[in-house]
Chains A and B, each alone.
Chain A
C-alpha cells in the first residue's frame, strides 16, 4: 500500500488527541432531575466540566478513535496494490511557433508546477515532436532534469503531426504513466493532458527567397508576409557588404489573411551569399534567411560511338541545343554515349549515365522495324518528362532492348533502364539515322532529360538553398570517397557525413552551413556550402495562439484509468469517506442513547 499524500499521515496524531479529550472528559453529560437539593454538597464539583478521570472504554471512544484514524488515511489517500512512482511523459511541440517570445518560459513554469503536484519521486521523460520525434530526457529520468531538458528544446520544426511523438510517448508511459502535451494552441488528445502555453502576437516573416534570371545579373525575389504587423524593415546584405534597408508597409486584408509584400533586389555580380533580416518581432526564426549562389557546373559528356555510327546518327544538333555541358573524356564524363555497353572494368570509378544508342539485335540481318505506335510510356520517370510520341515513326531493331521498360511499342521495349554497378544505363533502340524520331521534338527533350539526370551525378551539394527540416543531399566526388566530411552548422555543431557515395543530412538549424573535409593534420578545407532557412506560414501565424489546459478526454468522460494512482486513491477515498460517514452516524447514535 502506498499513499498519494503521505504528509497527511501526521493526522494520525488525532487518535491520541481523542484519547486526551476523553481522559479529560470534555463532554459533560447533562441530566434533568427532580430534586437537586438532594445532590447538594455531594461528589467532587467539576472544574468547568473537565475532570481528569480514568478513560472509559465506551463505544463512543472507540468510534471516535477509529474516526480519527480513518480521517488521516482519507487525507493521505491510500493506494492499494503495487507501489508505483508517478511517471510523466512530456510531449513538447517542436514546431517553431513554440519559440515565440515567452512561450518556453511559461511552459517550464507550468511543467514545474505539474511535476510538483505529482510528487518528489516523479520520473520524467521528455519527447520533442519532430520528424522523427526525439527523446530529449529519460526515459524515467528524475524530474529535476526538466530545466536541462528545456535548455535543449530549441523548437525549430515546421508544422507537423504530433502522432508519431504521441505514439512514442505512449510506449514510454506504458500502463501507469501520464502523458502531457505542451503546445501553444487548442489541442485535445484522448489519453493525454494538454498544456497550451501560447500567447497571441503579431509577426512578420520571410515567406520565400528565390533567384530569378531577370536583370543584368539576376534578381533576388523576396516575399515577406505580415501576420498582423503594419510595417517592417527588411535588410539585405551580399557577402560582406553593408546591408540595404527596405521599408515595408502592409495593407491588412479584411478577411484576416496575412498580407504579403514582394520585394525584388538586384543581384550584384559574382555574389556568393545573401543575408536577409527583418526587424525583431515575436518570432525570430522566420526573420532571417541566407541564400547561397548556385555555382555553374557543366555535365561532362563523352560520345564513345564509332565514327561510322556517329555519321549515321549524329547528335551534334542535340548537343548544340542544350546548355550546361562540356565535352569530357569518358572517365570524367557523367554521361557517356556508346553503341554497345561497356565492359564493367571499363566504367570509371565515379557514377555515370551510359546511353547505349544502337538498334537491337537482328539489325544486321537487315530487318529494321519502323514502330508507329501506339507507344507505352512510363510517365513517372524523370527521363520521359515532356516526351510526346504521337505520330512519331520510330525505327528500331526487331527484338527490343533489355532493362526495365520505359517506352514500348508492339510488345517490344524501345527504351529500357538498367541499374549497373557504377550508375545507370539507358538502352535506346534506334536504327539507322533515327528516321522520324530524331526529327520529332521528343528527341532533344529526351537528351535534355538525360543530361539533367546526369547532372545529379556531379559531386557536391545537390541543392544549396533548402528549407529547415529538409534533407540536404551530398554526393562525394571520385577523390572524396576516403575523406571524412563534416557539416558545420552556424552554431558550430558538427555533423559527420556518413559513409557512402550519396548521403543525405537532415537540416536542424537555419543559416549558412559548410561542408568541410578534415585531414589527418587537423586542418579543414571547405568543400561546399549550403543555406538553410525557415519558411512556414502556419508557424509564423501567432495571432491564434492561446493558453489553456485540457484534461485527457478519458477523464472528462468519467472513465478514469484503472491504474492511475490518483484515480485509485480517489476510489479508496470514496470508500473511506463512506465508512467515515457511517462512523459519524454511529457515534451520534451512541451519544444519543446515553441517558440524560
Chain B
C-alpha cells in the first residue's frame, strides 16, 4: 500500500524525464536528452535504493492476546536491522480496531544489532469475539520517496476481545462453604479467619494464645478473642445456548445478552475471590472447570466468546443433568434465553438446589422482546402472562429473578437497581 503523494512525484519525474529524453533525441538537443536520461537514471537508482533499504530489516510483535471491548491495548513492535535504517514505516493490522491498519513511523536511526521497541496504542472498537492481529508490514522508500518497497511478515495471531462486563448485584451475597484455609470472604460466625469478631468467655480447650488479657483483667475471668469464619464462595454459571431461542441480531440479540450476562457474572464472582465454573447448553456442551484468579477468568471468558447458540437440549434439562456438578452451599446463576420455562422442570431444579443448599439466581432474557428471526411470536398478552407466572413462581420460592428485555441497558439491569 503506497501513499498517493509519492506516486504523484514519481509520475512527474518519470513522465518529465521520458518526454525530455525523447524530445531531446528527436530534435537532436543534447542538453535536453541528457536531462531526461539523468532523470530516468535517478529513478532507476531510487528504485534499487528503496529495495536495498529493506534488506536486513525484521519486525515482530509482542502482545498480550486478550482485552475487553473498548479497552486500549498497547502493542509492542520490535524492529531490528542489520544495517542503519531510517524512516521505516510499520503497518500492523489490529483486527479488533475499526481502522484496518495501524501505521507508525520510526524516524531512525535503528542501529545494527540492536532492537528498537515501538509501542502503539490501539482500541478494541469492534464487538467481542476472536479477531486476528497481523500481518506486520515494513515499508521503506528511497531518499526522495519516489519508490516504496515493503515486506510482509506472516505474524498473524489470534486476539480475544471479551465482552464488556458489569458488576452483578447480589452475587456478593452468594452461597459459600466454610473453610479452614484463609480466604478474602468471611462470615460473622466464629471461625479461624484473621478478621476479629468479638470476645467470649473462656471454655476449656480454647487456645491460650487467643486469651484477651486486658479484657480478662477487667472482668476477673478469662476471656478469649473470637475470629470470623473463612468462606469459600463458589459460583456456577449456567448459560442457555438453545438454538430455538435465537432472536434479534448483533448487539440486540438473545445470544448477546446471554453471553454478556454470563461474562458479567463470571467477572463479578472471580473479582470477589470465588471459585467459578461455567456450564453451557451449546452443541459442544461448554464446561469451564472450577477455578479462580485472573487466568481462570481469562480462560472462562475465552470459552464463553467461542460459544455458539446452537444447542438442541432445553436449558432446564441441561441444568438438571449438571446438578451433580454444583457443589453444596454454593451459588448458581442461571441465564435463560427465554421466559417460557416449564414449571415442573423448574420445580424439580429448585428442589435439587434446595437439597444441596445451593442459592440460585435467575436471569431470564425475554426472547420475544427481540425481533424474531424464525417463526411468529405468541400474542403479547400470553407472553406477559407467562412471564408473570414464572417470575411469581420463582419469587414465591425466595429466588431472585430479573427479566432482561431488548430495551434494557445491561449495566443498569445487572446492577443493584436491576436485580431485586
Is the pairing of A and B real? no
What residues make up the interface of B, taking CB atoms closer than 8 Å to A? none
Give A residues with C-beta under 8 Å from B.
none
